[in-house]
Every structure is written in C-alpha cells, then in structure tokens.
Chain A
Amino acid sequence: MKSIVKALKEKKILVSDGAWGTFLHKSGLEPGECPELWNITNREKVLNVAQSYIDAGADLILTNSFGGSPQKLKHYELAERTYELNKAAAEISREAAGDDKFVLGSVGPTGVMLMMGEVSEDELLEGFRVQIKGLCDGGIDAVCIETMSDLSEAVLAIKAAKEIPGLEVICTFTFEQTMSGDYKTMMGIAPEEMTAAIIRAGADIIGANCGNGFDQMVEIVSKIRNTDGNIPILVHANAGKPVYADGITIFPETPEEMSPKISKLIDAGANIIGGCCGTTPGHIKAIVKEVSRYR
C-alpha cells in the first residue's frame, strides 16, 4: 500500500479518473445487469475502462466495486460473492495501474436506511468489512467511500476501513444545491457538517462527488476548505447535469468547457481532481493538462 497523502506533499495536485458506470454501459452493460459481476464475466471490458484512464494520465484510478456491498449485491442474489467480486475489481485496476499508480477501492452507499430500521449498524459494518477486505486483498492503496449522503452510514464504512492497518481512507459526499443556495445531501447534511464529522471519524482525505457539474463543485470545495484548512480534498465531478434527448441521455459538459474550471477548483482548495458520471478519458486528459501547470 502506498500513501496518497505522502504523494500529495510531493506533487501538490493529483489527477483521478472519470466515470465507470456510464463507461461500462457504453461497453455493453445492460440496465439491470450487475456491474460488479462483470469483474468475472467481462474482465477485459472492465480492464479497458481502467486502462483508458491510466493511458489518459490519471495518477489514481478507482475499482468497479461501487455497488459491491452485500446489501446491493443481494438484489442480484450475489451477496455471498461480495469478497470475490471486490477482490477481482481491485486486481483488474491494479493490473492497469501497475506498481506506480494508485488504486482506490470504490465503496458506494448500500441503499438501505439505518433510521428506518431496514438494516442494523452491525449488519452494515460487517458488510463493509467483507467488501473492504476483498478490495485490500486485490491490491488497493486506499479505500474511496463515495456518493454518501448519510453521516451514520459513512462513519460505519470509515470504521470498517480503519480496522485495516495502513489503509488510507477517502470519503466523499454528494451535495445538491437547495432553494436558498446552500448545499446539502439528500439527508440534509451540509459540507461544513460533513467535514467535521468525517475527519473526526478518521478519514484521511475528504471531498465531494457526482452532483451537477464542475461549477457547483468549486463552491462546495470552498465550504469544505473553509471548515478545515489542512485536510486533502478530492473532487469527482459530473460532466454537467444529464440531458435527455432523442431516446438517449447525455452529460453535456465537454472537456473544453470543463478545462477553465479546473484552476478554480484548485484555487478553492482541491488537491485531487477527477470526474464522475459522464466524464471520459478525454476529460481526464484535459484535467492532466491543466494540473501540469501547478506542478
């Protein structure tokens, strides 16, 4: 395991990867198919996603394990294969990344709610443990707990990750702009509140992902940075808000439109920049170009 926090001290700004879900769908993943099962059944196509981002110049890539919690895999009757599917996900990204680049094990929300009694804290914690163990055994450098909206769920995932010695923990939340212009997760958590709680829980790197494009991310990053002056911040932004036309959905923000916003993100305090839904290797290439000016 390599330390991303240490690498940041040397390189200042690192570049992460772009979308996985939308990329896999372009590669033939049908809606309703289990993306994580592709780590076994369509290994080459998953490897191609990972490789495309390495080729685009990313310093870090994620793994195809966003929905790899037993609670999500249960929908496909694959819960008992949690360890295996996550380990395979990490191995694929490690193959593309080689020894030099970083691999972040993606852990997404479980989709079940603690407050409604749909699941117990113990069940969630145990599920995260199995998923993260698989990712670690497959060769990740850090775990990336992402698209979170509920503090209690995120804190449990961080707790499970922190049980593994030396594993760095990244945790990012998804915020939407409210009518008053503030940013909140769907569970009502503001960036400032998230920052304090997640650092207290032990996260090494925090940030925001998904959302409505790079512009709003600049504001969100400022709020996180104003709350804590030191914690490294990671951003995975969507390529704008999806637009539906002629039977297909597109994310409208092009690499050219995105490029001028990268320096604003860095000025606001971001340390690691990549994309989420709709971003492509083209976006990552453009980010690499912008970031090179800061090194």
Chain B
Amino acid sequence: MSELLDKIEYCIERGKVDKVSPYPPDLRGQDGSDELTKIALESGMNPADILESCNKGMLKIGEKFSRNEVFVPELLMAAKAMKAVMAHLKPYFQTGSVKAKGKFVIGTVAGDLHDIGKNLVSMVAEGSGWEVHDLGVDVKPVKFLDTIKNNPDCIVGLSALLTTTMENMAKTVQEIKKQYPGIRILVGGAPLTKDAAEKMGADGYAHDPQSAVEFLAKFNKAS
C-alpha cells in the first residue's frame, strides 16, 4: 500500500502527470499521478495520506528549486502533476475528510502584470496543502481588503516584478495593516530583498516558492 503512496510522491517530484504525458522522458508510458491517485482511492486508501505524499513530493522539488538544481519548467510540471491529484481529492475537501492547512490569498500588486513568479508560489502552496485564493495580476488594494473581509483567517501574499510597482506593494501592505492589523503578509518578487520587505511592514519575505511555504507552515491550522 505504501508503495503506491511512494509512487505518487515520486510522480509529483518528477512532474509525471499521466500515462500519455511525454514528460519526464525516462518515465514515458508509465502511470502518472492522475492514474495512481485513482487507483489509490479505489483501493480504499485514506485521501489525507495521499495528500501528505503529494506534499512530500512537492517539498522535494521545491527544495531542489531552492538549491538551483531544477528550474521553472520542472516546478511547473510538478505543479501540473499535483493539479491532477487535487482534481481527485476535491470531493474529500468538500466533505471535510481532508483539511487544508489554511487559506492563502495571493496576487500581483496594482500596476504589475507579471504572473510567473506569483503562479509558481500559488501552485507550490496549493501542492503543499493550502487553500489558495489567487486574485490574479494588477490587484488593487481594495480587492485584497474585500477578500480578507470574507476570509478573515487568511494569510496574504503579494508579488511584484517591476521596481516601479514595489511602491504599490508598500502601499498595499500599509492599507491592509491599517484595516486588519492581525493579518500576516508575505511579500516576494525579483526586485525585493528581506530588508525592503521589513521596511514595507510585511511579516515575511520569500525569495522563492519553498521559502513562501516555510513561512506559511508557521501558521498551519491542520497540524
């Protein structure tokens, strides 16, 4: 039984989505996370255990990405493999037999249309067991405030690529903190540094998806 879970974990780490997927080349023709999850559920395995295996696989690929051993394509494929699992697990989230670690609201700040970094963090967070609300790009402060109003227990992630929109990021942090001082805010993006994040008043700075998940882990509600 646990062999199946190990296989699922490996498919996430390697980005093996399904049998027809040509990626990665050395796993061509083998079952992917899609088929294996289906088999696991049909054989009566606990969906929470399946999710945990996925989280482990995601952690491994996230750490490799942090160490620059793999790059954006490998992480994207892992996220794709994760999505296939989540499609099967969705009903169990709805009934409450599987619980997310918490809510993570993420968006690229006003004036900035870049979404690759934000998407990576969003996908890795979801793959690590968080309920992610992705608000997209060019997100005005008011949209963050509205979302927080409806999800008062969320953690907020802000992304920016342009140096010019880092100023909008700082404003967004300030507006959120003014209305909701208890909301934790994580910031990230190419022009940012830990120092800049602190000056803005953010609670955390993530230089890559894995460090974003490490920040989130401090507020894990499922454990």
* Interface residues of A, Cβ cutoff 8 Å to B: 21-22, 25, 30-33, 72, 75, 111, 113, 115-116, 149, 178-180, 182, 184-188, 242-245, 247-249, 251, 277-278
Which of B40-48, B105-113, B141-149 touches A?
B105-113
**CB within 8 Å of A: which of B171-215?**
191-193, 195-196, 199-200
- Residues of chain B contacted by A111 (CB below 8 angstroms): 113-116
B71 to chain A, nearest CB (A): 3
Give 4 closest A-B pairs by Cβ, nearest first.
Answer: A31-B111, A188-B71, A32-B111, A244-B196
Residues of A within 8 A of B138 (CB): 32, 75
Which residue of chain B has the shortest Cβ distance to A188 in the bound complex? B71
Q: Judge whether A179 and B68 touch: CB under 8 Å.
A: yes
- Find chain B residues with CB under 8 A from A31 CB: 110-112, 162, 164-165, 167-168
Question: B69-110, CB under 8 A of A: which get 1 and which 0?
Answer: 011111011001000000000000000000000000000001
How long is the Cα–Cα vector from A113 to B120 in the complex, in angstroms? 13
Report how far A32 CA is from B169 CA in the complex, Å.
Answer: 13
Min CB–CB distance B14 → chain A (angstroms): 15
The chain A residue with its CB closest to the CB of B117 is A186
**Distance between Cα atoms of A113 and B200 in the complex (Å):** 31
For A187, give its contact among B71, B162, B166, B191 (CB under 8 Å). Answer: B71
What CA separation (Å) do A65 and B163 show in the bound complex?
A: 19
A116 engages B80 (CB within 8 Å) = yes
Interface majority SS (helix, strand, loop, mixed), chain B? loop
Is there contact, CB below 8 Å, between A186 and B170?
Answer: no
| Interface size range of chain B in the complex | 20 to 34
Specify the main secondary structure of chain A where it touches its partner: loop
Q: Is B218 an interface residue (CB 8 A)?
A: no
Partner of B167, one of A22, A182, A247: A247
Identity of the chain A residue whose Cβ is nearest the Cβ of B111 in the assembled complex? A31
Listed residue (A30, A75, A186) with the most chain B CB atoms within 10 angstroms of its CB: A186
Taken together as a complex, chains A and B put the C-alpha atoms of A184 and B69 apart, in Å, by: 11
Known A-B contacts A244-B191, A247-B170; the reply to A22 vs B68 at CB < 8 A is no
Measured CB to CB, the nearest residue on chain B to A22 is B163
A278 to B115, CA, bound (A): 22
Q: Contact check: which of A179, A180, A184, A242 meets B71 at CB < 8 Å?
A: A184
